Chain A
C-alpha cells in the first residue's frame, strides 16, 4: 500500500555514495554528521562512500580526503579510487596491507586518456582479482566493448557496473550475460519494468541498490524497489545482502534467476510478499 510517506521496511546498505565537493558543485552534505542525517532520513543504515575529488581530479589526493568521513561505527565504508599509475597502485596496496580495502573504483575509463584495454589495465586487474577485491566501474564513463573485452580476461574479478541510464538499455543485458561476475547498480536505471525483468532473467543476486547520492537524491530508487514485485528475500538482497556478499561480509546469501531457482526447486516463497 503506497502512502504519502515512505520508510524502507528492510535494512539498507547503499552501494554508491559520493562525498565531498566537485570543483563546480558543492556537496549538500558538508560533513559526516550531515550525511548520516540524510541517510537516517531515508532509512539507510550504511553506505559505501568515495570522494568526489577522486572522480574529477586525483584518486590519490581524493582518497586521503575520505578519511575524515569514515568514523569508527562502520556506517560509512570506504571505497578507494584507483587508476593504473604507480602512485595510485602503491597507495591502494598500502591500504590493502592494512586490511582496509573492501572495494575500489575506476573512474571514467573511456575519457581518462587511457583506453580500458588489456594492454593498459591487465596488471591492475590481475592484482585486484588475485586479492579478491571487487571493482566499481561507472558506465557513463565506460565503453561497453572495452569492458567486455578487458574484463573477460579476468573472469574471477567481481565488478559492479554503476549508473546505467536508459541510454545504456541495449548494453545492459549483453554486459550481464558476458560478464558473469558483474552486478548492476541501480541508481539511475529507470526503463519501465526493468528491475523485475532483470530479476527474472539474471536473478536478484545480480542487482545492487545504490543512490549515487549526492549526484542524485537518496530516496527515489529505494521507494521504487519497495514498489516492485520482488519478494522480501529478493528485496533484502538488492538493498543490502548482495553488497555485503560482494564486499566479503556474507558469502551465502544468493538467489539465482527464476529459471535456475525453479530448476533447482529453490523458488522463493512469494506468499510472504508484502503487497506494494
Chain B
C-alpha cells in the first residue's frame, strides 16, 4: 500500500529463467514487493505451449500465496485445438482473471487469424488480454491497434508499451484510437520522460504499472512511476486504480 493506494503489479511471471537470474522463489518476490509497498502481482507462465502445464504451475503458485498473486491464463495458437478448452478451464476452473499472450514464441503476428479465437473468447466475456509488444514483427503495437476495434468488449494491454521509441509511438497511437487499449510500463529501456509521454499522450487512465517480476526487480520499475513528473492522482491510477477496474477487483 502506498499512500492509501493498493499497488498492483500487472506484469509478472511464474517459473525460472536462470541465465537471466529470474527466480520465482516466493520469499524473494515478497521481500521486493513488501520493501516498496506493492500489494499484489499478476502472474503467468509463458514457457509451455500447451497452456495447461504452465497454467497449473501458476495456479499452484497463486494458491500457496492467496491474496498476493493473481493468476492469468496463457495459451498459444501453436496448439490450436487446446486454446479454447484451456481458456475455459483456466478462467472457470482455476479462477484466473485475465489472459496473457506472447506472440514472439509463434510465427504469427498478432493480427493474423490464429489469434482470433482467443480474441473472440475475451470479447464474449469482457476479459482483459495482456500481450507482449515490442519490435518483433509478431508483436508490433500497431497490430493491436488493428485488432482492438474488432473486439470492443475485450481490453488489450500492451506489455512494455512497445519497449522502444518507434514502437512506443505505435502503442500510444493505438491507445489514442481505441478506448479498450492500455499501456503497461515494464521495460529496461527506462529513457527519461517515457512515463510522462505515455500519460500525456494516452491519459493516466490508460497506463498500468508492471515490472516483469521476477525477471526484473519490481522496485526500480516502481521507481519509474514514483519519480516521473506526474500528479499524485495520475500515480494512483497507474499504480492500482486502473488495474482494479480492468480486473473488476472488489478487494
B193 engages A192 (CB within 8 Å)? no
Identify A228's interface contact among B23, B219, B235, CB under 8 A.
B219
Bound-state Cα–Cα, A218 to B236, Å:
21
Bound-state Cα–Cα, A5 to B230, Å:
10
Q: B188 in the interface, Cβ–Cβ < 8 Å?
A: yes
A2 engages B217 (CB within 8 Å)? no
A192 engages B227 (CB within 8 Å)? no
Bound-state Cα–Cα, A218 to B20, Å:
24
**Chain A at the B interface: SS class:** loop
B residues less than 8 Å from A192 (CB atoms): 21-23, 28-29, 32, 213-218
Partner-binding segment picked from A60-68, A123-131, A165-173: A165-173
B residues less than 8 Å from A191 (CB atoms): 20-22, 215-217
Q: Which of B190, B194, B213, B226 has the most CB of A within 10 A?
A: B190
Q: B250 in the interface, Cβ–Cβ < 8 Å?
A: no
Bound-state Cα–Cα, A178 to B187, Å:
30
Q: A153 in the interface, Cβ–Cβ < 8 Å?
A: no
Identify A229's interface contact among B21, B35, B193, B213, CB under 8 A.
B35
Residue interface bits B201-218, CB-to-A below 8 A is 1, else 0: 000000000000111111
B223 engages A221 (CB within 8 Å)? yes
A2 engages B2 (CB within 8 Å)? yes
Residue interface bits A4-43, CB-to-B below 8 A is 1, else 0: 1110000000000000000000001000000000100110
Partner-binding segment picked from A94-102, A209-217, A238-246: A209-217
Indicate the size class of the contact surface on chain A: 35 or more
- List residues of B (53-77) whose CB comes within 8 Å of A's CBs: none
Q: A270 in the interface, Cβ–Cβ < 8 Å?
A: no
Q: B81 in the interface, Cβ–Cβ < 8 Å?
A: no
How far is the CB of A17 from the nearest CB of chain B, in Å?
11
Bound-state Cα–Cα, A269 to B176, Å:
52
| B5: nearest chain-A partner, CB-CB | A4
A166 engages B220 (CB within 8 Å)? no
Identify B227's interface contact among A6, A170, A190, A195, CB under 8 A.
A6
Bound-state Cα–Cα, A271 to B145, Å:
53
B21 engages A224 (CB within 8 Å)? no
- List residues of B (155-192) whose CB comes within 8 Å of A's CBs: 188, 190-192
| A29: nearest chain-B partner, CB-CB | B192
B188 engages A223 (CB within 8 Å)? no
On whether A217 and B192 interact (CB within 8 A), knowing A194-B217, A223-B227, A227-B219, the answer reads yes
Report which B residues bind A (CB closer than 8 A).
2-3, 5, 19-23, 28-29, 31-32, 35-37, 188, 190-194, 213-224, 226-229, 232, 235-236
Report which A residues bind B (CB closer than 8 A).
1-6, 28, 38, 41-42, 165-167, 169-170, 188, 190-196, 213-224, 227-229, 276
If A4-B226, A217-B191 are given as contacts, then 18 extra A-B residue pairs at C-beta distance below 8 Å, sorted by A number, are A2-B2, A3-B3, A4-B3, A6-B227, A28-B193, A166-B20, A166-B188, A169-B20, A169-B21, A192-B217, A192-B218, A217-B193, A217-B224, A220-B224, A220-B227, A223-B220, A224-B219, A224-B223
